[in-house]
Structures are given as structure tokens and as C-alpha cells.
Structure 1
Amino acid sequence: MRVIVENDYQSMSRKAALLLASQVNLKPNSVLGLATGSTPEGMYQELVEMYHRGEIDFSEVVTFNLDEYYKLPPENEESYHYYMQENFFKHVNLHPENTNIPRGMVEKVETECWYYEEKIRRAGGIDLQVLGIGSNGHIGFNEPGDRLNVTTKLVELTEETIESNSRFFDSLDKVPRKAISVGMATILKARRIILLASGKNKAEAIKKTINGYVDTRIPSSLLQTHPETTLIIDEEAASLL
């Protein structure tokens, strides 16, 4: 596990964008695993600027997002479909048919989960997976527990995650209680992984991710078992190391 500590959020975002751009420039048809939330926003902004400067071409890239809220329409401003369109997809030359996000409005959830895994397999697997991290160590919506989902599944969100995500919604009761999330085994099959973390509220989770035991109660700690994982964090997130 490689750890890169940058001075601040902007520097962290720029470093992450450079690593992702390097992947795409070396392999134009890369398969990217993408994350949502406040932390990757700066990285997406940097990538959009790089695209407009002619420094990167996404025309052959295929993307798979980690998760989506269950029963939240894609046009809802808090859905991850909407997030990806507004923060990244519509600003670069990704082909819409090459972007993939779990469909939260489906009735047959098990079929959707199986199909999503199959699409990743047919694409050749994830070349570079981008991750954020929750304050409880969750990645994607793989929440702490005695057992973790292996593949893409419908998951129950913890009260801590619901409370944390309520800042994006009008009220706590508007936050979905379930989500479709790519599982830990699928994440760990990615050839390379970069995890981003910013702020003091992530410091404890980062400490346990790097220096703690490998424990399903800290899902991010499983990244210790991956041979090509890079953590890009700011000084506040690194304050307990």
C-alpha cells in the first residue's frame, strides 16, 4: 500500500487526476471504476480542465460506478446518475453507452446486480478503481459488519451513513435507506486502486485502513491485501498516522 500525503484538498485532487489521466493516456480504452460524494469532485474538475486543454481523451474509455441509491430516480438531483452527469460525464467526450451506473429503480434487483457484474466481466474487469471512504471505513456502500458482500448487491445503509449523507438532502427522512453497491471482491479484483480522503473527520478511518487489522468491521482495511493500492490524502486526513 502506497500512501501519498498532499498539503490540501486541491493538491490531493490534482494528484488523483494526474494518476487517472496517466492510466487513460497509457491505455486509451481503460475501464475505470468511479466513485461519487464530495471528495472526488475536485478530481473530476481537474480532469474536465485537462480534457478542455487537450491533455486527455475519454472517447474509448468505459466507466462503472460503484453504487446508486435504491428507488431514487436517476433524474433526482441527489442520485448518482445526476451527480456523474453534472460533475463529469457531460463535460468530457465519454460516450454515454460506455458509462455504467447501477439502476436503482429496477424491480428485479438480483437480476440487475448479476447483470452489472456480468458487464464488468465482459469489459475485461476494472483497470483503475477510484474510491472514497466513509468515516466508518466503508467504501462504496460496503458497510462495516461481520460479513461483507462479495459481488454487487442491494445493501442496507447504516444510521451513521444515513446521517452523514443527509447533508445532501432536504431532511434526514429523505435519505434512502438502501443502495445497490459493488461488492468488496469485485473492488479488490481491480488491477489498480486509488483511495481519496480529505479532512480530519476521515483521519481515524485512514489510520485504521493503513495501520489497523484487516477487519470486515473496517471494510477499507481489506485494501491492505491488494498489491496495487495508492492512498492519496491531505494532511488533515493523515493527522493520526
Structure 2
Amino acid sequence: MKVLTRESREAAGAAGAVVVRACVQANPDAVLGFATGSSPLPLYDALADFGLDFSGVRGFALDEYIGLPPGDPRSYGAVIDSEVVQRLGMRPGSVLLPDVAAGDLEAAAREYEQAIRDAGGVDLQILGIGHNGHLAFNEPGAALDSRTRVEQLAERTRRANARFFDSPDQVPTRCMTQGIGTILDARQLLLVAHGADKADIIARALQGPVTPDCPASALQLHPRVTVILDQAAAAGLR
């Protein structure tokens, strides 16, 4: 595991963008895994400034809410479209999301796993980390070999995401998420995090025991991980 620190969230995002750029330059048809939330936004900002050709890149989203109406701007599909596909000049529809409108959600989860396999797997997975250590929407207690599935959101996660909604009651209670095992199948992982409020969980994830109680600790099991933090988020590391 390679851990890099930078002086600010913007600098950390720019350093993460350099890792993504190297992947795409080496393979213009790369398959990328895209995260949403606040952590990767500076990375996407920097990537847009690079002006890199993303026309051949395909991607998969980590997760999606269940229960939002189609086209809802708070859905991760809408965020991916505006922050990633349009800004980076990717082809429309080139980033797939779980089909949370399917009549059979379990079948939709299996089909999403198959779509990732059919694409040849993910070359580089971009990740953030939740305050309780969740990766994607794998909440504490998730099995470290879990696959794409329907998941119940923890109340702390819902409270953290309430800032994107008019009221906490509007935050969905369920989602479909890639499993930890699915994430670990990617050939390279890139975690970007910032802020003093992430320092404790970063320390647990990177230097504590590998345990389902901290899903992000599964990063320690992967052979090729880059973690880029601002100084505040890195403050708890030994």
C-alpha cells in the first residue's frame, strides 16, 4: 500500500487525478470504477482540467440509491453523469449503474456482477471512505467477500448524506452496492480522503486489524492500493 499526503483537499485530488491519468494513458480503453460523495470531487475537478481523452473509457458506479424517482438529481446516476461523464467527455451511457428499478433486485445485482466480468473487470477503482468505515455502501458488518447486493443504509450514513436532501426523512433507506469482494477484484484501488473528521477512521482502516467492523480495512488485503490524503485526514496515522 502506498500512502501519500498533500497539504489540501485540492492537492490530494490533483494527486489522485495523476494516478487516473496514468492508467488511461497506458490504456485508452480502460475500465474505471467511479465513486460519488464529496471525497472524489477534487479528483474529478483535476481530471477535467487535464483535458485527457476519455472517449474510449468505460466505467461502473459503486452504488445507487433505491427508491428515488428516475432522473432525480440526487441519484448517483445523475451525479456520475454531471460530474464524470459530461465533464470528462465520456460517451453517454459509458458508465453503468446497478438497475435499482428492476422488478427483481437480486437478479439485477447478479447481472451487474456479470456486466463487470464481461467488461474484463475494473482496471482502477476510485474510492472514498465513510465516517464509519464503509466502502461504497458496505456498512460495518459486511462480509469481506461480499458481492453486489441490496443493502440497508446505516443511520449514520443517512445522516451524513442528509445534506444533499431537503430533510433527513427524504434520504433513502436502501441501496444497491458493489460488495467488498467485488471492489477487491479491481486490479488497482485508489482511495482519496480529506478532512480531520476522517482521521480516526483512516487510521483504523489502514493500520488497524482487518475486520468487517471497519469495511475499509479490507484495503489491506489488496496487492495494489494507493491512498491519497490531505494532512488533516492523515493526522491519526502512525
Same fold flag (TM > 0.5):
yes
Alignment of 1:168-179 (within 5 A): 168-179=164-175
Q: Which residue matches 2:32?
A: 32
Separation (CA, whole Å) in 2 of partners of 1:90 and 1:2: 30
Q: Which residue matches 2:217?
A: 221
Which amino acid counterpart does residue 31 of structure 1 have in structure 2? V
Give the C-alpha shift of residue 148 in structure 1. 5.0
Separation (CA, whole Å) in 2 of partners of 1:206 and 1:11: 18
Q: Which residue matches 1:41?
A: 41
Give the C-alpha shift of residue 146 in structure 1. 6.2
Q: Which residue matches 1:233?
A: 229
Q: Structure 2: 5+ residue runs without aligned partners?
A: none
Q: Which residue matches 1:20?
A: 20
Give the C-alpha shift of residue 147 in structure 1. 3.4
Alignment of 1:187-198 (within 5 A): 187-198=183-194
CA RMSD of aligned residues (A): 1.1
Alignment of 1:1-241 (within 5 A): 1-51=1-51, 56-145=52-141, 147=143, 150-241=146-237
Separation (CA, whole Å) in 1 of partners of 2:108 and 2:195: 35
When the two structures are aligned, how many residues end up with a matched partner? Answer: 237
Give the C-alpha shift of residue 211 in structure 1. 1.0
Give the C-alpha shift of residue 160 in structure 1. 0.7
Separation (CA, whole Å) in 1 of partners of 2:189 and 2:152: 25
Give the C-alpha shift of residue 182 in structure 1. 0.3
Q: Is the 8 A contact 1:32 1:127 kept in 2?
A: yes
Q: Is the 8 A contact 1:126 1:191 kept in 2?
A: yes
Query: Cα deviation per residue 1:113-169 (whole Å; 9 max; x = unaligned)?
Result: 111100100000010000000011001000001635611000000011011111111
Residues 15 and 229 of structure 1: is their aligned pair in 2 closer, same or farther, counting only changes over 3 Å?
same
Q: Is the 8 A contact 2:144 2:181 kept in 1?
A: no
Q: Is the 8 A contact 2:143 2:180 kept in 1?
A: no
Give the C-alpha shift of residue 10 in structure 1. 0.6
Q: Structure 1: 5+ residue runs without aligned partners?
A: none
Separation (CA, whole Å) in 1 of partners of 2:132 and 2:70: 27
Identity %: 40
Query: Cα deviation per residue 1:23-60 (whole Å; 9 max; x = unaligned)?
Result: 00011110001100011111111111112xxxx11111
With the length of structure 1 as denominator, give the TM-score of the two structures.
Answer: 0.95
Q: Is the 8 A contact 2:35 2:136 kept in 1?
A: yes
Separation (CA, whole Å) in 2 of partners of 1:149 and 1:158: 20
With the length of structure 2 as denominator, give the TM-score of the two structures.
Answer: 0.97
Q: What is the DSSP-based 3-state SS (H/G/I as helix, E as strand, rest coil) of the residue aligned with 2:56?
A: coil
